[in-house]
Amino acid sequence: MTTAEIALQPGRESNIRTVFVLSLIWGLCGGFYNVILQPFLVDFVASEFVFGVIMTVANLALILPMILVGKVSDRIGRKRVHMVGFFLYVPAMILFAIAGQNIISNPLFLVISALLLVNLGFGAMDPALVALVAESSQEKKRSSAFSIFGLGVYASALVGPIVIRLLAGNIPLYYYFYGLIGGYSIYFLYQLFQLKESLSLPDFTSNFGKQFIQSSKALVQVIIQFFMSIIHFIVMPFLSFFRKSSEEKLTNQFLRNVEKDMKLFGDIFTTKGVKYAIIYFIFDSFVYGLSLNIYNGAVKYVYAYTESQIATMQLVLSLSTLIFFLPLTKISDKFKRKEMLVMSQFAGSLFFTTNIIAHFTLPEYRLYVILIGWAGLGASIAFWVPSVLSILSDFDKKRRAEIYGMVSGIKSLGWLPTGIIAGFIIERTVDTMGLLVPFLISIVLFPITLFLSMKFPETDRSKNKDDDLSIEKADEKVQLN
């Protein structure tokens, strides 16, 4: 299948139910992982700055696959690439668990390797999953489909913080990674047997054994495409500089492939709204990244909070997100996506504000003030998810995963340096100002983010309109037959 064609499987709409179950498993695992990860890392790292460097490198491992392998999903299918990304999760959890036992002389190497595997896997699978959800839902119900996915994630994510809070101090953190090995294995098997490919592919098969073999082959394709894309991006500036004219025909196949990638990359930026979206998301990632990137690790350094208290924060976050997701599954399609962005920003600003107030609050009351901010952050996520995923998955459905991955990866560049910056700031101001400075920077920059949200352009769906009509007609024929 070429990227110039778009044809969808008639039975793909059943994916919404399957994706909801997957979101429950994903949220259940993520609820544990998000609570224990940074406190677990802190046990291996003695410096806030080094901790920030590690998180920055890990973020880079997430960004590169998003930017470079999205087009593989547009070519060989959503399910295969999604499974490829998940191949990396189980070995990552095994490495975390082994590192926690301190049975080797340099466990930090295992921890960093595991963190890189998780981020590489998520970077590869996320564009494919978002494209699959978008293609498995009707255009007029797309925001609701993403809200349903978010509802499942944050509903089951409540379990992890509750369990960790109840068992805090009784179970070593690395024990939870053994449980995550089982959880992510169940996720992988369920998607193998229940998830349907949304694209109509020439070699599509309903045989699960063949699907597994195809996904194994897809792993090789993704790896090859990943490294070839890196090489192509490195060569692009030299090709642009040394080529005498744009009309000059290239005879070398490698250079022709570089030129093709360069043209595809350029086409993305000519799509209406993409340039604005990239600028907006980079700035937004920077503003929120300063405060969030190493937050759980920072409160353990500065406030001496335990995993039980961090679990409480995550519990409030998940509960708040769930409460706001419940109505949004029904009404999110009635809002303009720009309106949901603005509501998300207002709710998110509460996180900056309360953490500034917490600095001046007595220690015995500080956690309660911080939890108010986490409740606001949960509401922010609930508005953010359906609006952003709908925006990024609708720029051009013929290259849905590639454009989503490219824009998502580039926007993460704003998040990339925040771990180092926040760690550097905290390390040098912690004795006098604690965690205050990163939040002051975020709240000062927040009005700009809010203004950019209000000015966000509407997505141009004209190029997708005919496709939507033809797809709906095809579905009606299938249902009649």
Whether 132 has a pLDDT exceeding 50, the answer reads: yes
Q: pLDDT at position 43, please? A: 80
What pLDDT score does 249 carry? 65
pLDDT, residue 3, reads 35
Contact 242, 371 (CB under 8 A): no
pLDDT band per the 50, 70, 90 thresholds, residue 246: low
Closest CA to 201 of 319, 293, 303, 81: 81
Lowest mean pLDDT among 105-114, 345-354, 403-412: 403-412
472: pLDDT strictly greater than 50: no
Q: Average of pLDDT values for 325-336? A: 76
- Tens-digit pLDDT profile for residues 222-238: 777 777 777 877 888 87
Could you write out the three-class secondary structure of 344-401? HHHHHHHHHHHHHHHHCCCHHHHHHHHHHHHHHHHHHHHHHHHHHHHHHCCCCHHHHH
Residues contacting 367, CB < 8 A, separation 6+: 305, 309, 312
CA-closest candidate to residue 445, choices 215, 280, 309: 280
Using pLDDT thresholds of 50, 70 and 90, give the confidence band for residue 250: low
Question: Crossing angle of helices 107-135/78-86, nearest 10°?
Answer: 160
Answer whether 140's CB lies under 8 Å from 115's CB.
no
The first and second tokens of residue 316, run together, are 């409030």
Averaged pLDDT score across all residues of the chain: 81
The answer to whether position 475 is within a domain reads no
We report the CATH number of the domain holding residue 295 as: 1.20.1250.20
Q: Is the pLDDT of residue 248 over 70?
A: no
Tokens 């409160």: give the residue: 299
* pTM, two decimal places: 0.72
Q: What is the DSSP letter of 199?
A: B
Partners of residue 8 on adjacent β-strands: 199
Region of 304 (left: φ > 0; alpha: ψ -120 to 50; beta: rest) is: left
30/160 Cα distance (integer angstroms):
8
CA–CA dist 391, 274 (Å, integer): 10
| Percent of the chain residues past pLDDT 70, beyond the cut | 90
Given the structure tokens 């930090």, which residue do they identify?
A: 108
Measure the CA–CA gap between 373 and 377, rounded to whole angstroms: 6
Least confident of 111-125, 183-197, 371-385, 403-417: 403-417
Looking at residue 479, its pLDDT comes to: 38
445, pLDDT greater than 90: yes
- Say if 3 falls within a structural domain: no
Q: Which of 343, 419, 8 is nearest to 143 (CA)?
A: 343
The more confident residue out of 266 and 182 is 182
Q: What is the pLDDT of residues 78-127, one digit of tens each?
A: 888 888 888 889 999 999 999 888 777 778 888 889 999 998 888 888 88
Average pLDDT over residues 445-460: 84
**Given this model, what pLDDT does residue 262 score?**
78
Lowest-confidence pick of 92-96, 263-267, 300-304: 263-267
Residue 344 domain-assigned (yes or no): yes
Whether 373 is in a domain gets the answer: yes
Give per-residue pLDDT as tens, 14-55.
788 888 999 999 999 998 998 888 788 888 887 777 877 887
Q: What is the mean pLDDT of residues 393-419?
A: 77
Residue 45: the pLDDT is 80
Q: What percent of the chain has pLDDT over 90?
A: 19
Asked whether residue 474 is domain-assigned, the answer is no
Band (430; pLDDT cuts 50, 70, 90) = confident
Predicted confidence band of residue 10 (pLDDT cuts 50, 70, 90): low
Angle at 262 between CA 260 and CA 267, to 5 degrees: 95
Q: What is the CA radius of gyration of the chain?
A: 22
pLDDT of residue 11: 67
Comparing CA positions, the residue from 324, 430, 439 lying closest to residue 387 is 324
- CA 246 to each of CA 78, 266, 268: distance values in angstroms, whole numbers, following the listed order: 34, 14, 19
Check residues 468 and 367 and name the one with the higher pLDDT. 367
Tokens in use for 465?
């309109």
Q: Which residues form the domain of 49?
A: 10-464
Q: Count how many domains the chain has.
A: 1
Residue 392 contacts residue 69 (beta carbons within 8 Å)? no
- In this structure, are residues 166 and 306 in contact, taking their beta carbons and an 8 Å threshold? no
Q: Do 139 and 13 contact (CB within 8 A), yes or no?
A: no
Asked if the structure places residue 382 within a domain, the reply is yes
- 150-197 pLDDT, tens per residue? 888 888 988 988 888 888 778 888 899 999 999 999 998 898 888 888
The reported pLDDT for the residue numbered 477 is 39
368 versus 215: which is more confidently predicted? 368
Q: Is residue 2 part of a domain?
A: no
pLDDT at 335 over 70: yes
